């Protein structure tokens, strides 16, 4: 088991009634840049910032027990114009999202996120 954003990530997942989704998630131990200007971080600071953050937005649709995010903008350029498909289930105030194993993944790794309603 791995925790790509640490043991206590922070984030927001927003679904709107008219079909939009927005996701922003970051590690809880991110370091501030030495500079106060976003474009003036060192290469190491920028790499660390990107490695500890993910964000994307677009539209969504629900099909059975899956929610499909149609990515329109993203920190990770490879996701733009693509779909992020998640299995979903509810447990009280919690939304559990998971991925199917990647094609060709002999170890059958899956991703799991638990979001709590605020």
Give the Cα separation of 87 and 51 in Å (integer): 25
Burial 6-39 (b: 16+ CB within 10 A, else e): eeebebebeeeeeeebbbebbbeeeeeeeeeeee
What's the pLDDT at 109? 82
The pLDDT, as a whole number, for residue 2 is: 79
Q: In sequence order, what are the beta bridge partners of 74?
A: 56
Report the pLDDT value the prediction gives residue 16, as an integer from 0 to 100: 97
Q: Contact 13/20 with Cβ under 8 angstroms?
A: no
The tens place of each residue's pLDDT in the chain, 118 residues long, gives 778 788 889 999 999 999 999 999 999 889 999 999 999 999 999 999 999 999 999 999 999 999 999 999 999 999 999 999 999 999 999 999 999 887 776 677 888 999 999 8
Q: Identify the three-state secondary structure at position 89.
A: strand
**What pLDDT is recorded for position 106?**
66
pLDDT at 48: 94
């Amino acid at each position: 088991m791995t925790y790509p954003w640490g043991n206590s990530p922070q984030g927001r997942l927003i679904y709107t009634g008219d079909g939009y989704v927005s996701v922003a998630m970051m590690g809880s131990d991110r370091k501030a840049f030495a500079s106060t200007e976003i474009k003036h971080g060192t290469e190491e600071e920028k790499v660390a910032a990107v490695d500890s953050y993910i964000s994307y937005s677009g539209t969504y649709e629900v099909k059975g027990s899956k929610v499909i995010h149609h990515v329109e903008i993203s920190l990770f350029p490879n996701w733009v114009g693509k779909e992020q498909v998640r299995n979903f289930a509810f447990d009280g105030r919690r939304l559990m999202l998971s991925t199917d194993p990647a094609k060709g993944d002999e170890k059958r790794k899956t991703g799991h996120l638990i979001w709590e309603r605020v």
